Chains A and B, each alone.
Chain A
Amino acid sequence: MSARGWDMPADLEKYPATIPDPASTPVPEGLRREIEAHMALYPDSRSAALPALEAAQRLHGWCSPEAIEQVACVMGVTPASLDAVATFYDMLETEPVGEHSVYVCTNISCSLRGADELYAAVRDAAGEDPAFNVRAFECLGACDIAPMASVDGAYVGPLSVEDVPRLLEDARAGREVLPEMQLARRPCADPEAGR
């Protein structure tokens, strides 16, 4: 977990940042358009904070101070209000991270089936690799394929320690990860559900 916010003292010499001035804050055109489109969907444009931060993170790789400032500028809010949001959610990164995310679920159902060993194996293989963002994650809602991981957003499982090298290779190459273990193609367990 990031140490930001809780463990760092506030700089009392510094005034809190105000709403960034659009005249002096360059925002990439694509990002601006995407954020404005989200803002238009809600009765209150502030509801767009999560999709806007997600868009900025996709562009910048993480919710960097620069990314936050750009979102704040388009949304007309203070950077601090967005910082508060970004630090709350597990999927918003407040430190630079690797391009490929590997979230290993280590909650109860997965850990009962070997998730802690799996996570250790993924960490050993890619924890120091700058291309990867390896994290132990809370229940990802796929206990039927435990132990499992979400690799760049795609759910795969049940995984064993032996699958780790191929998983990382596939992710690095940008192709579908372990196609035969993708949740997307798994039939329902209920024998009477049927086709």
Chain B
Amino acid sequence: MSTKLLFDRIDEPGLNTLAVYERRGGYESLRKALRMTPEDVLGELEASGLRGRGGAGFQMGKKVSFLPKGSIEKYLVCNADESEPGTFKDRELMQKSPHMLIEGIVIAAYAAGATRSFVYIRGEYVLQADILDAALKEARAKGYVGEDILGSGHSLSLLVHRGAGAYICGEETGLLDSLEGKRGNPRLKPPFPANQGLYQGPTLINNVETLSTVPAIVRMGGAEYAKLGTETSTGTKLVSVSGHVRRPGNYEIELGIPSREIVYGLAGGPPEGREVKCWFPGGSSAPVLTGAELDIPYDFDSLAKAGSMLGSGAIIVVDDSTPILDLALKVAKFYRHESCGKCTPCREGTNWTVKMLERIDCGEATPMDLEIMASVCDHIIGNCLCVLGDAMAMPISSMIAKFRDELEAHIENRRLVAA
């Protein structure tokens, strides 16, 4: 039996209501936190080693500590714009246990000294936003959110803000512009949001899963939480497994277990008679790994060492029935559509990559095109305000590197057919 912190009896009927959540000990962590000083709460978060669950994997406690001290108005924004292809964990958390997120937000805001908070939820998540709004209403009525929370003197406003469909709004500075009522174009960094974020004020931005973990950390104590997982990837993680597996869905795992246990053990592996050709370990932005790389431990550092990343924890499994070119085209077209167009390398690079991949499909490409494509990808990486372009360049480069023979054969076949 593995440890369940986020998914513990997640399907209990009525868990989305305050009554059931409180009966299960909900908001006790908030009471405990409010009896501590904000510095001590921050200390627990730092001791937990919790790394951001949205994609970048940055230490949450450290992020909180970057906010300036003093009486300046600070903001907390929960990133619920879950749009990374393959990711659907925050959706299940918000739908089934919205109070856990609200409790986490209030505690994190207390530690950070933030007095205004927002949940930026993607517009497509209508059901989840409605559930969050209903839960928030209950939490406000009970005094868990609002003025002078439980008589502590600490106040926090919280608002659920619905997006309107744009992948880039999951990028933290694009999200801030969108929350300010503009097009969701990413901003130049620095200044980082911790110094100048929402309305130019210091802003802490965290993912839904990260904030939902906070009540458990306060309950257990940071040191106890850090015993779960590995030394540098502590705790449990929700993984969203999809694609060619028999049991797609969300699973809560302890970080550091072999990836094979997730793909085959939990999700059931590919259908009868099929093999894993490749898999994205952390959303479609992560470089692909092959079926031979399934024994890598599933944690931040092991995946980085293998040349990929844990990202949002979205595992997309692709079996041997899928040509790698089809996969590359899907990936490239997505990023072309979602590029905001602000930076030239990304706007042009994603477009040209799609065109070159299509050229392969119509039999007009030569093997040299693979070199050009790889060089286009090289020129995108690190040259834009945000990592959207990199998020296409990394998986495409990995496909060219790992499946070059197949792509070259594809080019040759299509050329012969066209001729």
Q: Which residues of A contact B (CB under 8 A)?
A: 1, 41-44, 46-51, 53-54, 84-85, 88-92, 103, 107-109, 111-113, 137-146, 150, 153-155, 183-184, 187-190, 192-195
Given the known A-B contacts A44-B180, A108-B327, A193-B9, are A91 and B199 also in contact in the complex, defined by CB atoms under 8 Å? no
Expressed in whole angstroms, the Cα–Cα distance for A49 and B2 within the complex equals 45
Contacts of A50 in B (CB 8 A): 123, 161-164, 178, 181
Q: In the bound complex, do residue A193 and residue B178 qualify as a contact, i.e. CB atoms below 8 Å apart?
A: no
Contacts of B116 in A (CB 8 A): 43
Contacts of B12 in A (CB 8 A): 195
B1 within 8 A of A: yes
11 residue pairs bridging A and B, Cβ less than 8 Å apart: A42-B159, A44-B180, A47-B179, A49-B182, A51-B161, A108-B316, A144-B240, A153-B127, A189-B249, A190-B7, A193-B252
Given the known A-B contacts A50-B164, A91-B123, are A143 and B86 also in contact in the complex, defined by CB atoms under 8 Å? yes
Q: In the bound complex, do residue A194 and residue B11 qualify as a contact, i.e. CB atoms below 8 Å apart?
A: yes
Expressed in whole angstroms, the Cα–Cα distance for A192 and B12 within the complex equals 13
**Segment from B88-96, B222-230, B299-307, B385-393 that makes contact with A:** B88-96
Given the known A-B contacts A43-B116, A90-B165, A92-B164, are A193 and B248 also in contact in the complex, defined by CB atoms under 8 Å? no
Q: In the bound complex, do residue B126 and residue A154 qualify as a contact, i.e. CB atoms below 8 Å apart?
A: yes
B83 within 8 A of A: yes
Expressed in whole angstroms, the Cα–Cα distance for A181 and B167 within the complex equals 26
Q: In the bound complex, do residue A53 and residue B240 qualify as a contact, i.e. CB atoms below 8 Å apart?
A: no
B322 within 8 A of A: yes
Q: In the bound complex, do residue A188 and residue B181 qualify as a contact, i.e. CB atoms below 8 Å apart?
A: no
Q: 13 other contacts beyond A92-B164, A153-B124, with CB at 8 A cut-off?
A: A46-B182, A50-B164, A51-B161, A90-B166, A91-B124, A109-B85, A109-B242, A113-B243, A143-B87, A143-B243, A188-B7, A190-B10, A192-B1
B187 within 8 A of A: no
Q: In the bound complex, do residue B244 and residue A144 qualify as a contact, i.e. CB atoms below 8 Å apart?
A: no
B171 within 8 A of A: no
B55 within 8 A of A: no
Q: In the bound complex, do residue B11 and residue A188 qualify as a contact, i.e. CB atoms below 8 Å apart?
A: yes
Q: In the bound complex, do residue B242 and residue A146 qualify as a contact, i.e. CB atoms below 8 Å apart?
A: yes
Contacts of A143 in B (CB 8 A): 85-88, 240, 242-243, 248, 314, 316
Q: In the bound complex, do residue B91 and residue A142 qualify as a contact, i.e. CB atoms below 8 Å apart?
A: yes
Q: In the bound complex, do residue A90 and residue B164 qualify as a contact, i.e. CB atoms below 8 Å apart?
A: yes
Expressed in whole angstroms, the Cα–Cα distance for A188 and B90 within the complex equals 13
Given the known A-B contacts A44-B199, A113-B243, are A141 and B7 also in contact in the complex, defined by CB atoms under 8 Å? no
- Distance in angstroms from B287 CB to nearest chain A CB is 14
Q: In the bound complex, do residue B249 and residue A190 qualify as a contact, i.e. CB atoms below 8 Å apart?
A: yes
Q: In the bound complex, do residue B180 and residue A109 qualify as a contact, i.e. CB atoms below 8 Å apart?
A: no
Contacts of B179 in A (CB 8 A): 47
Query: Which of A43, A92, A139, A144 has the most chain B CB within a 10 Å cutoff?
Result: A139
**A-contacting residues, B288-340, CB 8 Å:** 314, 316, 318, 322, 327, 330-331, 334, 337-338, 340
Contacts of B13 in A (CB 8 A): 195
B345 within 8 A of A: no
Contacts of A91 in B (CB 8 A): 123-124, 164-165
Given the known A-B contacts A138-B334, A190-B252, are A195 and B162 also in contact in the complex, defined by CB atoms under 8 Å? no
**A-contacting residues, B1-35, CB 8 Å:** 1-2, 4, 7-13
- A-B pair number, CB within 8 angstroms: 183
- Distance in angstroms from A149 CB to nearest chain B CB is 11
B104 within 8 A of A: no
**A-contacting residues, B104-139, CB 8 Å:** 116, 122-127
Contacts of A90 in B (CB 8 A): 164-166
Q: In the bound complex, do residue A189 and residue B248 qualify as a contact, i.e. CB atoms below 8 Å apart?
A: yes
Contacts of B91 in A (CB 8 A): 141-142
Query: Which of A44, A90, A112, A183 has the most chain B CB within a 10 Å cutoff?
Result: A112
**A-contacting residues, B137-154, CB 8 Å:** none
Q: In the bound complex, do residue A108 and residue B88 qualify as a contact, i.e. CB atoms below 8 Å apart?
A: no
Top 10 closest A-B pairs, CB basis? A189-B249, A143-B242, A90-B165, A49-B181, A89-B164, A91-B165, A109-B242, A153-B126, A139-B85, A193-B7
The residue from B11, B181, B338, B340 contacting A195, defined by CB atoms under 8 A apart:
B11
Contacts of A153 in B (CB 8 A): 124, 126-127
Q: In the bound complex, do residue B164 and residue A139 qualify as a contact, i.e. CB atoms below 8 Å apart?
A: no
Q: In the bound complex, do residue A189 and residue B316 qualify as a contact, i.e. CB atoms below 8 Å apart?
A: no
Expressed in whole angstroms, the Cα–Cα distance for A155 and B90 within the complex equals 15
The residue from B86, B163, B337 contacting A109, defined by CB atoms under 8 A apart:
B86
Q: In the bound complex, do residue A140 and residue B334 qualify as a contact, i.e. CB atoms below 8 Å apart?
A: no
- Distance in angstroms from A59 CB to nearest chain B CB is 16
Which A-chain residue is minimally distant from B82 (CB atoms)? A141
Which A-chain residue is minimally distant from B168 (CB atoms)? A88
Expressed in whole angstroms, the Cα–Cα distance for A139 and B314 within the complex equals 12
Expressed in whole angstroms, the Cα–Cα distance for A141 and B7 within the complex equals 18
Expressed in whole angstroms, the Cα–Cα distance for A193 and B161 within the complex equals 29
B203 within 8 A of A: no
The residue from B125, B162, B247, B330 contacting A141, defined by CB atoms under 8 A apart:
B125
Expressed in whole angstroms, the Cα–Cα distance for A18 and B390 within the complex equals 39
Which B-chain residue is minimally distant from A155 (CB atoms)? B127
The residue from A85, A146, A189, A193 contacting B182, defined by CB atoms under 8 A apart:
A85
Q: In the bound complex, do residue A108 and residue B330 qualify as a contact, i.e. CB atoms below 8 Å apart?
A: yes
B212 within 8 A of A: no
Which B-chain residue is minimally distant from A183 (CB atoms)? B127
Q: In the bound complex, do residue B330 and residue A107 qualify as a contact, i.e. CB atoms below 8 Å apart?
A: yes
Q: In the bound complex, do residue B88 and residue A195 qualify as a contact, i.e. CB atoms below 8 Å apart?
A: no
Contacts of B164 in A (CB 8 A): 50, 53-54, 89-92
Expressed in whole angstroms, the Cα–Cα distance for A90 and B164 within the complex equals 7
Expressed in whole angstroms, the Cα–Cα distance for A89 and B161 within the complex equals 15
